A and B are shown apart, each in its own frame.
Chain A
């Protein structure tokens, strides 16, 4: 199933009406889309948890989507909210490698760019975005991130704190 806007919107409309077959197809497609969306923006060990948390949020908040509006920007808002929440709760992850595999490709690169996590991170000042990426996503320690960036350890902590706080208020920004 291609995770394109029109197909997902049609499946979601049917799902809101209680069509279980359409809903199963929608959740499968959304799961693949979310894996691609979160890819490289979360520690690999957390990816399954985050995708599942987002699917549950999709389920509980499915009434907040209106068929008069596009589907993917709605799903992205749900996904960003869960992602930022996840980062805020996250303690140091034990993995240092980036998840290089891109699962699923998007047929609408312009939309994908506007709603991506990179776009959201890019709204932060660079030192804050870098501190969050290194510690909360790649799993470096504070000391390692300090060495990598030249920021002091306390500045890394401050930048993570301030950056996550800002992210929580920018979920729907393009």
Chain B
């Protein structure tokens, strides 16, 4: 039983009232997009853009895969921003459709990889994949931090799910950023290693974020 009665509590809360800036949807989205833009710019600045782009050549596989990760990143980010502003009647499931579509990439990557056999797991391909995984993961950290900060300011009613979706959003933005550099158009590489960066961040978000945002 709490020691104080409700009147005393209300007096205490009123006494401690400070003006607050309401969490606006546009602000949350803009912060996340700004973080994603900075990450992409840093990756492009440090590693350079794809050389075929600079030569005016585009690859359909690359555009398709990068677009799917960007779509997933945007859908998951919108969901996280909404989760920070609770309301009975809100629906947080929209990002799952984007995830289902992007999920075709790892599925296709695994199927094609199996059909190729051992050739798909060469040392060179593993090293290239590990680089994308590591840099894509690192490029997601700024967005991740921004979304966690947003959720801490807000009041997410399902902290575990909010953490998971924040990880998905950050990971998808991170691998999108590194896709601006990564010259490999192979579905096995993209489907496995690029998707793995998203999955790893999702796992990190699911495990780490709830304890940071629970209220």
Contact = CB atoms under 8 A, between A and B. Distances in A.
A171 B20 CA distance: 25
The listed residue with most B CB atoms (<10 A of its CB), out of A18, A20, A23, A61, is A61
Interface in A127-174: 168-169, 171-174
The 4 closest A-B pairs by CB, nearest first: A77-B86, A18-B19, A171-B157, A61-B155
A173 B153 CA distance: 22
A10 to B, nearest CB: 14
Interface of B: 1-2, 4-6, 9-11, 13-25, 84-92, 153-155, 157-158, 161, 215
Given A27-B14, A64-B23, A80-B157, A52 B88 contact: no
A8 interface: no
Interface of A: 15-18, 20, 23-24, 27-28, 31, 45, 48-49, 51-52, 55-57, 59-70, 73-74, 76-78, 80-81, 114-115, 168-169, 171-174
A16 B13 contact: no
A149 to B, nearest CB: 28
10 contacts: A18-B17, A23-B13, A23-B14, A48-B6, A55-B10, A62-B20, A63-B154, A64-B155, A78-B155, A81-B86
A97 to B, nearest CB: 18
Contacts of B157: 77, 80-81, 171-172
B154 A20 contact: no
Contacts of B25: 66
Contacts of A64: 22-23, 84-86, 153-155
A169 B165 CA distance: 14
A17 B17 CA distance: 9
Contact of B89 (A17, A45, A73): A73
Given A17-B19, A52-B2, A63-B23, A172 B10 contact: no
Given A52-B2, A55-B6, A173 B88 contact: yes
B162 to A, nearest CB: 11
Nearest to A59: B13
The listed residue with most A CB atoms (<10 A of its CB), out of B2, B85, B86, is B86
B17 A23 contact: yes
Contacts of B18: 18
Contact of B6 (A52, A68, A73, A76): A52
Contacts of B153: 63-64
B17 A15 contact: yes
B212 to A, nearest CB: 15
The listed residue with most B CB atoms (<10 A of its CB), out of A57, A65, A114, is A65
Contacts of B19: 16-18
A51 B85 CA distance: 21
B23 A172 contact: no
B158 A77 contact: no
Contact of A172 (B14, B16, B22, B88): B88
A152 B9 CA distance: 43
B180 to A, nearest CB: 34
A173 B155 CA distance: 15
Given A63-B23, A77-B87, A81-B157, 4 more contacts: A28-B10, A45-B1, A65-B22, A78-B155
B14 to A, nearest CB: 5
Given A28-B10, A81-B157, A60 B20 contact: no
A31 B6 contact: yes
Contacts of A51: 6
A66 to B, nearest CB: 5
